[in-house]
Structure 1
Amino acid sequence: MEATLGSTVVLPDADVAWAANDQLLDVYRIKHDQALITMQLGFDAARVALPAASTRRRHLNNVNLRSSTIISQPQFFKGWDDLTVRQIDTFPKLTWPLMHLLADDLHFRYNLIQVDSYGENRNGSFTGLAGQLQRQEIEVGITSMFLRADRMQVLHFCSETVELRGAFMFRQPSKSSVSNVFLLPFSRGVWIATALTLVLAAATLALLARRPHLRAVDASLEQLSIGEAVIFTVGTACQQGFHIVPALASARVVMFCALMTALFAFTSYSAKIVAILQTPSDAIRTIDDLTNSPMTMGVQETTYKRVYFAESTQPATQRLYRHKLLPLGDRAYLSVVDGVAAMRTGLFAFQVEEPSGYDIISKTFTEREKCGLKQIQAFKLPMVAVPIRKHSGYKELFATRLRWQRETGLMDRTRRIWLASKPRCDASSGGFVSVGIIDILPALHVLAAGMAASVLFLVLERSMARLKCGGRPRHLTSYVE
């Protein structure tokens, strides 16, 4: 047996049996440079189904296996149990306890190397940890990596660890940022009915003022010209008084009805405006809505930051990438902290791994801001798994014991420690939303338009006055007269 199998690499995943006249042996090596290990199977084993090799071989005799892990930002690294910066090197920190439990379970140790990146594909040659596995410098990676087709050509994966979701997170913009809130309180029918009521009141007053026999009874009707009737209607809609108080009962009834109508309409209008300002809009629901919105965008700074946008087959995702992200260049890629901060303070959507984003959001957002949080998935991320050298003799053995960790809940416990869940929304403690300039911007536009119109009319009046006077200047009191 030694002469025949002396140069073979029969590692624990291999299922090799040596049969002789008097015995049947299970044969394997712990490591390629160690001696063969044999175990008596007995001749009954030829007729009875044996457990798989990965089940039979559970003791690796404290062998050292070359491995590698990732610390991308050593300046922030404070230990494998540090939860203060979970968003940095999340996968290595999450996988570290799982792999060390695996080592204790199978009785082996790691000869550890540290690198600073997962590795990128550069014309078929990978850098970082993936490159070490491609060159067979290490046996296994102490981290979790995305299951990608280009990586599977140069390395294998022994077990999935967690399912990761990424999405564009943003605070749903207020209704005032996507529509004119001053037009939203009433339906079109209410607007038309209110306008017709006020127009009818103005027309009735103007008609009453034109009747000669009524002017004889009430001299104040002389002042109720058509222009004054229009001013009365505008003042009534704006909850203002009127300088003319007619003695005629019919004119007073018209004014009273118009004022009461405006009062009830104004009260309902004001209450609805307050409700609208307190309620976020639902204007952004899809990727196309996000593309067409005034929001600026950013992407979490990761190894795959450009890859999945470029590889996406969804037309909506491609349109968003070309129109919103590509023009920004490198400015589109931000750290989790900077991206979430921008998302909190303005119209900003941030593509981020959900656990990393939730961790910062739970620490920095107010309760009302958490309630207004929305997310849209642009593409589905692949599973993450533990990488191992291609055709490794430990792949099935490691996969079996890592699956056992998942089935017994050990993997889920680690996931809940390192991957933050979505923050709960407690709307009852949110308070009121302060009103900003953007909320009253349409009113400011009306004010600016009125000021511009007043200046225009002043210029026209002065020009007409000069024309009437033959171009000679007149005193200001003449214009007033």
Structure 2
Amino acid sequence: MLGKRLQVFTIGIFFIFTENLYANISKNTEISLFLKDFLKQHVRSDKLATYTCWGKETEISFKKTLQDEILHSSVSEKSLDKLIYSDNIFLDASCTKTQLILQKIEELNLFTPSQYWMILKTGSDLDDFLQNIYFPITSNVYFLDQNYYGFSIKKVYSPSSKIQYLNQSFVGYWTLDNGYVEIIGKFDQNKDRKFIDTDITVSYVVEDQETLTHLDDYRYKILIDSVTKYNYAVLQHLYYLLNASKVELFRDTLYSKDIDGKHVIGMVEDLKSGICEIGGNPIEFLSNTVDEFDFVAHTRKMEKKFIFRATPHSYISNVFTLPFDTYVWYSCFGLMVAIFLVAYLVVYWEWKDPVFRKYLIPRFALRPDPVDIFLMEVGSAAQQGFESEPRSNAGRIVFIFTLISLMFLYTSFSANIVALLQSTTERLNTLEHLLDSRIPVGFEQNVSMKYFEDINFDKKTKDFYNKIYKPVFYGIEEGVKKIKEEFFGFYADTTSVYKYISDSFLENEKCGLREIPFKNSYVDYWLVARKNTSLIDLYRSGMQKIHEVGLRSREHHRIFTGKPKCDSEGGNFESVGLADSYGAFLFMGVGIGLSLFLFLIELAWQKYFKMKREEILNFIDDEEGRESYREEDELEDGPNEQQQHFDFAI
């Protein structure tokens, strides 16, 4: 009897154990199927790390179920630091050490946006289980609540680090028949994440202390601390989007430095030490800053360019050569040569024909002299005429057609000159053309000349090199004044220059402004956050939304001035200056110099000829004097010789 009872008891225990084992195996099979469906839905990595306490046989069965599609690895308390390389982690909250493991994971800052955490919890309240554990607002933590039909999935995060509160949102469910069904999409899961009573500290750089009382009124000296005012306005929208409390620090400098023996903390030191979350002033996007900060958003692009008023053609070329194309000039010179040859032949015939020459009046007839023919052509081209002209019918026909053809050329040339003197050139569009022109240039104070000096310019003038290697620096206001009063190129920040131009230029003076960018004109400045902050994705998405809805653009237009628009270009009339007449004065100067040179040659030749003539005359006078002296001697010596002959004869 006792043996039968013992046998029945043993069979009962076996059925109970078998039922529990089957239940565990069935439960674990459902979990593995859920994990496969969940990871496929979210297009995550096929690597999964798990922490369970189900017993050896159950865990072996669980791993076999996963191994076909998922690369599985186990997690222990000693290997938590290796979880940084895992994209998906599954934890069973019913294990005794799960809560301790979660606390250590929090200390290691492993709740990152790039990882998905799936925690299985049954039978107890989440708030009680997760007491003193902080899930950042950017983390992806899902709790699986097992029920009769399968699993319900909740996404949780802590909206505040100050108060123990857990935000829970139902995102989907899983059943054996339907698989994983997501009620709220991935984007919708993140759109309503907001802080509750959480401080975000921002450090700003302020040069003028008066700025602190005028950060948002857009009136007080808008160009002073303009970058700070702009980013302050943009970050107010970020505070509103995140529902965060703002804590603001104001520093005197961007980088820490010692002033009068006192260490002054800068904004960069606040970021590196973790005192602040975000830097209120952007910094340049450089290779060395990538390793020190997390970049949040590109808020401002600083543009430095050469700004100047549109210049006349005379500043870069000889305006008197521009009315005609090169081939037209060749045709004009060819016409002059043809006229010269025909006129010379006709005039030559007039003077050689004996019948026609009888009736010529030399005073009024054109002589067959190349100089006279050339002067006749020049007088006709300049519409001035000439004192003599051909007298034959053939010569008069040549002269008439010369006047008509050169009149049309003169009219076209004059009309084009007038248009060119009132128009501006479009050829001044590169840095090399600007520096090679007669336009003086200047640079904003504290501008680095390193990039300019590295340019390789070949075969340039001394004035060209002086503009680069002996630069002249001006303040913004002084540089804008020179742009207004003369043709002057000023290299500076465009927003600052255009602010002064908008305030000081007349409407017609705003027309014709030109820009020439340099290769490093565009400098990108980015807002940065402290390195490895858990909220970086939230900051970036918030700033992206601010940009997309136009709030950032609105704040930019309120503070920074763009290029002024031209409303009255037609009423602007420029008087002709000496620079426009440079070619005429140069031609006249060459003519005067050439005439003086020929005059001196003629004068020297005349003096030389006169001196030679005097020498010849003196020589002739000397010869005549000698001959007369001989004749007188002969007359005096003649009677004496006769007397001697007579005496000898006696």
TM-score category by the smaller chain? 0.7 to 0.9
Indicate the residue corresponding to 1:150 in structure 2: 288
Asked which structure has the greater RCO (Cα within 8 Å, sep 6+), the reply is 1
Indicate the residue corresponding to 2:246 in structure 1: 109
Matched, 1:68 2:212: no
Contact 2:443/2:492 (<8 A) preserved: yes
Matched, 1:376 2:517: yes
Supply the distance in 2 between the matched residues of 1:377 and 1:408 (Cα, whole angstroms). 32
User: How far has the Cα of 1:22 moved from its partner?
Assistant: 0.7
User: How far has the Cα of 1:23 moved from its partner?
Assistant: 2.4
Q: 1:398 to 1:335 in 2, by over 3 A?
A: farther
Supply the distance in 2 between the matched residues of 1:294 and 1:127 (Cα, whole angstroms). 47
Residues 87-126 of structure 1: per-residue CA shift (max 9 Å, x gap): 4433222222111222234231223313244789xxxxx9
Supply the distance in 1 between the matched residues of 2:453 and 2:358 (Cα, whole angstroms). 86
Indicate the residue corresponding to 2:358 in structure 1: 216
Q: TM-score, normalised by structure 2?
A: 0.59
Residues 300-347 of structure 1: per-residue CA shift (max 9 Å, x gap): 457xx43993899x979xx9xx96776236x45x54444444445555
SS in 2 for 1:111: strand
**CA RMSD, Structure 1 to Structure 2 (Å):** 4.4
Q: 1:11 to 1:60 in 2, by over 3 A?
A: farther
User: How far has the Cα of 1:5 moved from its partner?
Assistant: 4.5
Q: TM-score, normalised by structure 1?
A: 0.77
Supply the distance in 1 between the matched residues of 2:111 and 2:489 (Cα, whole angstroms). 49
Q: 1:369 to 1:448 in 2, by over 3 A?
A: farther
Counterpart selection for 1:266 from 395, 410, 421:
410
Counterpart selection for 1:431 from 556, 566, 572:
572
Contact 1:86/1:356 (<8 A) preserved: no
Matched, 1:41 2:157: no
Q: 1:445 to 1:70 in 2, by over 3 A?
A: same
User: How far has the Cα of 1:177 moved from its partner?
Assistant: 1.9
User: How far has the Cα of 1:58 moved from its partner?
Assistant: 1.3
User: How far has the Cα of 1:270 moved from its partner?
Assistant: 0.5
Counterpart selection for 1:309 from 426, 447, 451:
451
- Superposed, 1:14-413 pairs within 5 Å as 22-25=124-127, 27-28=134-135, 35-39=162-166, 41=168, 55=191, 57-61=193-197, 63=199, 65-72=200-207, 79-80=214-215, 81-82=217-218, 86-105=222-241, 106-117=243-254, 128-186=266-324, 187-200=328-341, 202-204=343-345, 206-211=347-352, 212-220=354-362, 224-225=366-367, 226=369, 227-244=371-388, 248-290=392-434, 292-301=436-445, 305-306=447-448, 309=451, 327-328=469-470, 331-332=472-473, 334-346=474-486, 348-363=488-503, 364=505, 367=508, 370-371=511-512, 373-379=514-520, 381-413=522-554
Give 2:387's aligned amino acid: H
Q: Taking every aligned residue pair, what percent have the same amino acid on both sides?
A: 20
User: How far has the Cα of 1:271 moved from its partner?
Assistant: 0.4
Supply the distance in 2 between the matched residues of 1:348 and 1:119 (Cα, whole angstroms). 38
Q: 1:284 to 1:384 in 2, by over 3 A?
A: same
Supply the distance in 1 between the matched residues of 2:514 and 2:537 (Cα, whole angstroms). 42
SS in 2 for 1:210: helix
Structure 1's consecutive aligned runs of 4 or more residues displaced over 6 angstroms after TM superposition are 1-4, 9-20, 42-54, 75-78
Supply the distance in 2 between the matched residues of 1:311 and 1:448 (Cα, whole angstroms). 37
Moved more, 74-83 or 137-146: 74-83
SS in 1 for 2:611: coil
Indicate the residue corresponding to 2:583 in structure 1: 442
Aligned length: 457
Supply the distance in 1 between the matched residues of 2:501 and 2:172 (Cα, whole angstroms). 59
SS in 2 for 1:470: helix
Contact 1:201/1:258 (<8 A) preserved: no
Supply the distance in 1 between the matched residues of 2:587 and 2:212 (Cα, whole angstroms). 55
* Structure number, greater radius of gyration: 2
Contact 1:11/1:29 (<8 A) preserved: no
Contact 2:310/2:512 (<8 A) preserved: no
Contact 1:173/1:281 (<8 A) preserved: yes
Supply the distance in 2 between the matched residues of 1:196 and 1:294 (Cα, whole angstroms). 35
Supply the distance in 1 between the matched residues of 2:514 and 2:373 (Cα, whole angstroms). 50
Supply the distance in 1 between the matched residues of 2:571 and 2:240 (Cα, whole angstroms). 48
User: How far has the Cα of 1:288 moved from its partner?
Assistant: 4.5
SS in 1 for 2:166: strand
Residues 135-170 of structure 1: per-residue CA shift (max 9 Å, x gap): 434332223333322222222222233455444444
User: How far has the Cα of 1:419 moved from its partner?
Assistant: 3.4
Supply the distance in 2 between the matched residues of 1:5 and 1:403 (Cα, whole angstroms). 33
Supply the distance in 1 between the matched residues of 2:604 and 2:169 (Cα, whole angstroms). 118
Indicate the residue corresponding to 1:478 in structure 2: none
Indicate the residue corresponding to 1:417 in structure 2: 558
Contact 1:17/1:24 (<8 A) preserved: no
